[in-house]
A and B are shown apart, each in its own frame.
Chain A
Amino acid sequence: MERIRFIAAAPVRSASEAWRVVSTLLADTLECSSSVPIGSVGKELAFLKGLGPALIAGGHLESKGLVLVDQGLHLTIRVLTADAALDVEENLNPVPGGASATDGWTLYLPPAGPLDSAVEVAVKNSPHLSTDAPSASAPAVKSDDTSRSLIDVNALRRLGNKP
């Protein structure tokens, strides 16, 4: 399911603070999963240190935003400024689907004009960052996971044997 979250930047909070909020939301969401170690998301996002606030300050995350994609997870994060920031209703809770995230998650960054070259450098340093166009929807959950039954058939049989 495609989801979108809006984060307020200036004048509600500075670009640096807004980036911290974005980073926390990403970490809180992905690190719900046992496949994503605690602290690992922050390490990857460290490659965007300085660059993330610059993207926000330049308005590059206003229209297209960041897109987080993993199996069963498709999250767009748009960071709004000016009047739009004053009207935004933020939901900073971890995004549903995070608990089943894998270590193959990818954060797609939008075109950033004069910052493109700096973004490319960051992307080269992390396998979890990309400047490619994200898929339009979340990849399906792998069959290994979907075939995991929720119901114990033997327990059902025992239920049938009860008087």
Chain B
Amino acid sequence: MDVSEMVKTACDMPDARYAKLWDSIVVDGSIKDRLLRSAALSLRLRAVLPFEATALHGLAFLYGPPGTGKTTLARGLAYQLAPLTTRRKARFIEINPHGLMSAEHGQSQRRVSELLTEHIPSMVDDGIPTVVLLDEVESMVVARSQASLAANPADVHRATDAVLTAIDSNASALPHLIFVATSNFTGAIDEAFLSRADVAIHVPTPDVPGVLAILKTTLEAMSAAFPPLAQLARKPQLEKFAKALAGMDGRRVRKTVSEAMIGRLDTVIQPGELTVDDLMSAAVRIQQTEYTAQPKGGGKNGTN
């Protein structure tokens, strides 16, 4: 398989499709600030100083429970970065780490190496600041200390080695390149990879004000098709609903609105008739499900 097929997305910013991603994620402002500032500082320092002086690898690591918006923040970063660059341009590249792993002996390492030291550098040869997303990075940089000898360990080790080597070589050769890695499983990630991260940012589940903000933005977005939902978004009783959902990840919080709609056939037919009572009933149903009783972990990242 050609490694170019591992590139899911490659687009230049500003691109209107990415304009709203950053703001769609409701997290503490300091999380966004740290991510954007670390990217800007990395570009600023690495362009004028050697690696020996900065020790910056151009790697940001976002971790936390699934559904908290790590991937979406990473996708939105390049758009936010573009107006801060001297050329007012940035590029976003997303690769599919799962496709890099192969059952064929030695192929994983070869693909990782070719992608990160040949293909990606070719794509960014024009010097435009570029954010490369390594989503669910644990599949690429398996913790070698925990790799079972019975589970194809040689290739696991080689692939992890290849990632580390590529990050090291790109750190100094390509100062305009920034990797953003995301993961729900920090324990499964190689320690040497984590130590290369210039910044590690925890993206937690939202607090009650965060849940409330997510609910409001969800209802307001839906009001474009069903206008009465805009009034529901302004009801003070929503706060009680938000408290009932505390501890839930942002993606689940958004889904509670549709969960509430399926509580009655009337609101399936006419979603604009959704009420606070419908939402509270949904909260009770969700709390009673086994899903919320299970420990958090697993699942896939995405928009909250």
Residues of chain A with a CB closer than 8 A to B127's CB: 99-100
Shortest Cβ gap from B178 to chain A (Å): 10
- Cβ of A134 within 8 Å of any chain B Cβ, yes or no, is no
Most A CB atoms within 10 A — which of B43, B173, B175? B173
Contact status B48-A147, CB under 8 Å: yes
Contacts of A91 in B (CB 8 A): 114, 118
Contact B129 A96 (CB under 8 A): no
B110 to chain A, nearest CB (A): 8
State whether the Cβ of B152 lies closer than 8 Å to any Cβ in chain A: no
B294 contacts the other chain (CB 8 A)? no
Partner of B85, one of A98, A146, A150, A159: A150
A66-91 residues at the B interface, CB under 8 angstroms: 72, 91
A32 surroundings in chain B (CB, below 8 A): 125
**A136 touches B (CB below 8 Å):** no
A155/B118 in contact, CB under 8 A: no
Contact call B173/A72, Cβ cutoff below 8 A? yes
Chain B: interface size category: 20 to 34
Name which residue of chain A comes closest to B49, CB basis.
A146
Q: B164: shortest Cβ distance to chain A, in Å?
A: 15
The CA-CA distance from A159 to B84 in the complex, in Å, is 8
Q: Is there a chain B Cβ closer than 8 Å to A151's Cβ?
A: yes
A95 to B121 alpha-carbon distance, docked (Å) = 9
Q: How far is the CB of A91 from chain B (nearest CB, A)?
A: 6
Known: A96-B125, A99-B126, A99-B127. A146 touches B84 (CB 8 A): no
Query: How distant is B81 from chain A, measured CB to nearest CB, in Å?
Result: 9
Q: Roughly how many angstroms separate A36 CA and B118 CA in the complex, as a whole number?
A: 21
Whether B125 contacts A97 by the Cβ 8 Å rule is yes
The verdict on B187 contacting chain A, using a C-beta distance below 8 Å, is: no
In the complex, B30 has a CB within 8 A of chain A: no
**Across the interface, which residues of A come within 8 angstroms of B173, CB to CB?**
1, 72, 97
Complex contacts, A3 vs chain B, CB 8 Å: 118
- The CA-CA distance from A150 to B173 in the complex, in Å, is 14
On chain B, the residues within 8 Å of A149 by CB distance are 44, 47-48, 86
Distance in angstroms between the alpha carbons of A146 and B117 in the assembled complex: 21
The answer on a CB contact under 8 Å between B86 and A150 is yes
B-chain residues with CB within 8 Å of residue A155 when the two chains form the complex: 83-85
A151 close to B122 (CB less than 8 A): no
With A1-B173, A98-B125 as known contacts, state yes or no: A152 contacts B86, CB within 8 Å: yes
Q: Is the Cβ of A150 less than 8 Å from the Cβ of B47?
A: yes
Chain A residues with CB under 8 Å of B88's CB are 152
Chain A residues lying within 8 Å of B197, measured Cβ to Cβ, are none
Of B48, B121, B122, B169, the contact of A146 (CB 8 Å cutoff): B48
| Choice from B84, B122, B176 contacting A93 with Cβ under 8 Å | B122
A59 within 8 Å of B (CB atoms): no
**Chain B contacts of A159 at CB under 8 A?**
36, 84
Query: Does residue B40 face the partner (Cβ distance < 8 Å to A)?
Result: yes
For B149-178 the 0/1 string (1 means CB < 8 A from A) is 000000000000000000001000101100
CB distance from A82 to the nearest CB of B (A): 23
Chain A, residues 124-148, CB within 8 Å of chain B (1/0): the string is 0000000000000000000000111
Given known contacts A91-B118, A156-B40, is B129 in contact with A150 (CB within 8 Å)? yes
Interface string of A24-38 (1 = CB under 8 A from B): 000000001000000
Extra pairs beyond A96-B118, A150-B86, A151-B47 (11, CB < 8 Å): A1-B173, A93-B122, A96-B125, A97-B121, A98-B125, A146-B48, A147-B48, A148-B86, A149-B48, A150-B176, A159-B84
**18 CB-based A-B contacts, threshold 8 Å:** A32-B125, A91-B114, A91-B118, A93-B118, A96-B125, A97-B173, A99-B126, A99-B127, A147-B48, A148-B86, A150-B47, A150-B85, A150-B86, A151-B40, A151-B47, A151-B84, A155-B83, A156-B40
